Amino acid sequence: MAYARLIGLAAVSIALAACGGSETESSPADGTGGGGGAGAASGTGGHGGAGEGGGPAATAADAPVLSFVMPMLGVLHVEWVPQPECDQIEAERKDPMHDYAVAFTVAGSKKAYMDSEATEDMEYTYRLRCKVGEVYSGYSNEMSGNPTDEEGEP
C-alpha cells in the first residue's frame, strides 16, 4: 500500500511540474472552459501551491458530431459519431417556443436515438455533449429537423 501511495504522489508531482504549477490559471487545458465557477479546475485548498487538491484536473473529451436529424415514422431519428471515451451522451433539444433543455441521455457507445417526444409539426434543433465521469465536453454541431417532413418518403 505504501508503494501505491508513493506512485500516486510521484504522478501528482509530475503532473504539477508539467503544468508549471501556476496558481493564476483556472481554466481547463483546452481553453474552452467558459466559467467553471468553483469546480475542480480552480482548486480549493489541498496540498501545495497550485491548489490542485487530490491530483490533476480531468480534461473534457471531444464532443460527439451530429450526422443527421431525419424524420422517421412521425418522430425524429437523431444520429451522431460518438467519441470512444464518452461514458454518456447527453442531447439537448430546442424548438421555436423553448430554449435548449435535456431531451435524452444514452450510453456513450450509442450512435442514434429515436426521439419520441419530437412529434409536433415544427423545427427541432439538437446539440450533444459527451460526459466522462462528472466532466462534460463542449457542445457538438447543431442540426435540425421536422418530424412531419416525410412527403415523398417511402
- Is residue 94 over pLDDT 90? yes
3-state SS class at 2: helix
Q: Residue 104: which residues within 8 A CB-CB, separation 6 or more?
A: 90, 91, 113, 115
Q: Residue 34: which residues within 8 A CB-CB, separation 6 or more?
A: none
Residue 45's pLDDT is 36
Model confidence at 144, pLDDT cuts 50, 70, 90, reads very high
